[in-house]
């Protein structure tokens, strides 16, 4: 009987996870597939070159793009329009090999318009030197500078270099949700504690790859090793739906975007179904934070002698 129970236990553990050289690989819970609700558009339709044009290679008639970092340059894309609230997603495959100092960022920002009090919502994928494993960092700025970031870090439950995975930002007046393969990895609820630093101005969408040796590797301790270059990230399955505005329009938006003459569409994620996380989504969020999160600014007592107001509300 004891042997039978042990066998059942082994089989059960095997169903939940497998083991690789990267450690346990956990099977995530099932969640709603939000990315199936919105249309995918070609990269060439929604974005244009930001920098490093020679290191941007379009594929599949512009539906996909490789953005590349080598000794000459990094590269980046920027949305053709700015957006106030919405749903922003892309499938991304990261560079393989030793990637210390390499950063792939998929994010929203208006720092070009508001350099001293900008808003930002960030996915930052950080190459790693110790376990040769990419780290996912999320961050948010509202009406602030880069000194006021609110970083959290998780280890991914898959190898992001082997195939495409979806990285998604949902932003509305109720909350900001960061999702990976439709699983929430972080939620920032728009409440009184966080209202003064909640992103409130239209932003552009960016995708960049760059040398972040000084910033991402403890002051350059583990710089990018260009012996392993080029570092190629692939991106596609782009989704950008929100209150879109032409770049020449006024950067002021109104709640719901319904009364602004420069707006071409109403907010697609303002309804009740996007106001809170479902039970499935909450289960996914709790799973990520319990098994995979290893840093939160709200736990960083060496950085903050007095924690930001929203940390007490969590």
Nearest-angstrom CA–CA distance, 216 and 131: 15
Q: Which 3 state secondary structure label does DSSP give 309? A: helix
Q: How wide is the angle at C-alpha 82 spanned by C-alphas 77 and 87, nearest 5°?
A: 85
Per DSSP, what are the bridge partners of residue 290? none
Structure tokens at 239: 């989704």
Concerning whether 151 is annotated as a catalytic residue, the answer is no
* Annotated catalytic residue within 120, 239, 270, 310: 120
Per DSSP, what are the bridge partners of residue 122? 107, 139
CB atoms within 10 A of CB 304: 12
Nearest-angstrom CA–CA distance, 16 and 245: 45
Concerning whether 32 is annotated as a catalytic residue, the answer is no
Query: Residue 243 contacts by C-beta under 8 Å, 6 or more apart in sequence?
Result: 83, 84, 85, 86, 202, 253, 257, 260, 263, 264, 265, 266, 267
Nearest-angstrom CA–CA distance, 266 and 254: 11
Residue in the block written with tokens 């000794």: 71
Query: Residue 2 contacts by C-beta under 8 Å, 6 or more apart in sequence?
Result: none
Nearest-angstrom CA–CA distance, 283 and 275: 17
As annotated, the active-site residues are 120, 124
């Amino acid at each position: 009987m004891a042997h039978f129970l042990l066998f059942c236990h082994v089989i059960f553990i095997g169903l939940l996870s497998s083991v690789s050289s990267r450690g346990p690989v956990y099977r995530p819970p099932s969640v709603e597939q939000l990315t199936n609700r919105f249309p995918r558009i070609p990269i060439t339709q929604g974005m244009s070159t930001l920098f490093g044009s020679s290191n941007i290679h379009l594929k599949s008639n512009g539906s996909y793009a490789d953005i590349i970092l080598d000794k000459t340059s990094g590269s980046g894309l920027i949305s053709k329009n700015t957006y106030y609230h919405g749903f922003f997603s892309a499938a991304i495959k990261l560079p393989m090999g030793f990637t210390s100092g390499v950063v792939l960022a998929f994010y929203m920002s208006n720092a070009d318009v508001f350099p001293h009090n900008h808003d930002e919502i960030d996915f930052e994928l950080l190459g790693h030197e110790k376990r040769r494993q990419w780290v996912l960092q999320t961050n948010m700025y509202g009406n602030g500078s880069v000194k006021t970031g609110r970083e959290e870090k998780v280890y991914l439950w898959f190898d992001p270099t082997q195939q495409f995975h979806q990285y998604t930002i949902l932003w509305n007046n109720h909350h900001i949700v960061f999702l990976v393969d439709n699983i929430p990895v972080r939620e920032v609820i728009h409440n009184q504690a966080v209202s003064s630093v909640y992103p409130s101005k239209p932003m552009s969408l960016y995708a960049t790859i760059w040398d972040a040796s000084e910033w991402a590797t403890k002051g350059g301790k583990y710089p990018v090793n260009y012996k392993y270059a080029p570092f190629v990230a692939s991106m596609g399955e782009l989704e950008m739906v929100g209150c879109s505005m032409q770049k020449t329009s006024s950067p002021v938006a109104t709640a719901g975007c319904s009364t602004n003459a420069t707006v071409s569409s109403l907010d697609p994620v303002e309804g009740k179904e996007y106001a809170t996380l479902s039970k499935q989504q909450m289960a996914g969020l709790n799973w990520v934070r319990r098994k995979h999160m290893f840093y939160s600014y709200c736990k960083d007592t060496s950085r903050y002698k007095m924690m930001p107001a929203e940390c007490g509300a969590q």
